[in-house]
Amino acid sequence: MVKLSKVINALSMIHERSNRKIGVLISGRGSNLQAIIDSIEAGTLNAKIAVVISNKLNAEGLVRAKDHGIETIFLDHRDYSSREKFDLAVVEELKSRDVSLVCLAGFMRLLSATFVRAFPSRILNIHPSLLPSFPGLDAQTQAFDYGVKESGATVHIVTPELDAGPIVCQAVVPVSDSDTAELLAARILSEEHKLYPEAIGIMLDGGWRVEGRRFLRS
């Protein structure tokens, strides 16, 4: 006789694979959110944005989501007495909408270990440099000022350490002698807009695993 627990496991694996609902977390402009919306609407990304959550009331990304009929939630982190409590409230909203992937798109907050544990290897972030170079804020200016000849963008799985999780994919952007930090940032951003939807598709399609720091596709 087949054990009930095995059947439940198999069913939950099938559900996980067929669940293409994502939650997007933002704090501002939302141009990456827009790129995700556009890719879904163009049919190049098979996903559904179940909810967009912002910790900033006036985030432009909230307007972008509403314009496309996507549910939005504003949760002010200052209303919570700790990072954990805020994170738990966000997790609850995501879980109650059954999202299988969480995408940070300019979400300007570090996630607690509690948040990360709620979605193991199921949280993505996009960062405007070739990690592990130039983590943290103003990565484009950091790279420009350092004098690198190539920078770019990285999509990685989120861990509680800042910009340090396994790398899903990267795009390289050359730096020219006539560049400014602003021009470089703009070229990196347009690469981000292609890279993030692609990475989300990879994650949702499955057939990947994480070994140590390495993200591998089988």
Q: Minimal distance in Å, beta carbon 112 to ligand GRF?
A: 18
Considering beta carbons, is residue 201 or 206 the nearer one to ligand GRF?
Answer: 201
29 binds ligand GRF (CB under 6 A): yes
Alpha-carbon distance 26 to 107, whole Å?
Answer: 4
Buried b (16+ CB within 10 A) or exposed e, 168-187: bebbebebeeeeeeeebbeb
Query: Which of these is catalytic: 15, 68, 77, 127?
Result: 127
Q: Minimal distance in Å, beta carbon 52 to ligand GRF?
A: 11
127 is catalytic: yes
Number of residues lying near ligand GRF (CB under 6 A): 12
Structural contact between residues 191 and 201, judged by C-beta atoms closer than 8 angstroms: no
Considering beta carbons, is residue 83 or 109 the nearer one to ligand GRF?
Answer: 109
- Phi, psi angle pair for 167, to nearest 5°: -85, 125
DSSP class of 30: -
31 binds ligand GRF (CB under 6 A): yes
The contact pattern for ligand GRF, residues 104-143, with x = CB under 6 A and - = no contact, is -xx-------------------xxx---------------
Q: Minimal distance in Å, beta carbon 171 to ligand GRF?
A: 11
- Three-state SS for 76? coil
Q: How many helices (H) and strands (E) does the chain have?
A: 7, 9
Q: Can you tell me which of 123, 155, 184, 192 binds ligand GRF, judged by CB under 6 A?
A: 192
| Site of tokens 């990685």 | 156
Q: Minimal distance in Å, beta carbon 18 to ligand GRF?
A: 28
Distance of CA 95 to the CA centre of its chain: 16
Structural contact between residues 169 and 195, judged by C-beta atoms closer than 8 angstroms: yes
32 binds ligand GRF (CB under 6 A): yes
Active site residues: 127
Residues of this chain that interact with ligand GRF (CB under 6 A) are 28-32, 105-106, 126-128, 189, 192
